[in-house]
Amino acid sequence: MISLIQRVSQARVVVDEITIGEIGRGLLVLVCAERGDGEAQADKLLAKLLKLRIFSDEAGKMNRSVQDVEGGLLLVSQFTLAAATAGGNRPSFTNAAPPEEGRRLYEYLVRQARAAHPLVQTGEFAADMKVHLVNDGPVTIPLTVR
């Protein structure tokens, strides 16, 4: 699975002018399942998200996790993270999991996250979403788990 993690002071997802997911301090995570991914990759991704030390401690060093700071997780599906751009100017998305498999893995990740963390919000799979965020730092980290 591919993800793009952004440390935020706030973030929200809007669909049809309605806010469907919103967090304050925490992580906005754009997520893409690739062909061949399964629940094991989703589990690895979640474990990394919960333990990744990218929030500042008292000394200003990135030494705290989203769990340590009691931050939120906003999980948003984004198949375009699988874009292949080497062959021309139009991206290819053939590495992304088929929609039904991508939805299944995204929903699995959300269920697991809600079981492990108290504040989890989401976007809407395959919807035209508007994502608003205030990137804190800015801190943006690409993460791929195999």
Q: What is the pLDDT of residue 13?
A: 98
Active-site option among 80, 93, 94, 144: 80
CB 27 within 8 A of CB 6: yes
In this predicted model, what pLDDT tens digit does every residue of 34-78 receive, in sequence order?
999 999 999 999 999 999 999 999 999 999 999 999 999 999 999
E strand intervals along the chain: 2-15, 18-23, 26-32, 55-56, 62-64, 72-77, 120-122, 130-144
Domains and CATH numbers, the chain: 2-144 (3.50.80.10)
* Among 6, 41, 55, 78, the one annotated catalytic: 78
How open is the CA angle 76-43-77, to the nearest 5 degrees? 15
Gap between the Cα atoms of 141 and 84, Å rounded: 19
Residue 74's pLDDT is 98
pLDDT score of 5: 98
- The pLDDT assigned to 19 comes to 98
Q: What is the DSSP string of 33-54?
A: PBTT--HHHHHHHHHHHHH---
- Residues 64-117 pLDDT 10s: 999 999 999 999 999 999 999 998 999 999 999 999 999 999 999 999 999 999
Is residue 93 annotated as part of the catalytic site, yes or no? no
**Looking at residue 109, what is its pLDDT?**
98
Q: What amino acid occupies position 104?
A: R
Q: Catalytic residue, from 6, 79, 121, 122: name it.
A: 79
The average pLDDT across 108-129 equals 98
pLDDT at 94: 95
80 is catalytic: yes
Q: Report d(CA 22, CA 32) in Å as an integer.
A: 20
Rg (CA), the chain: 15
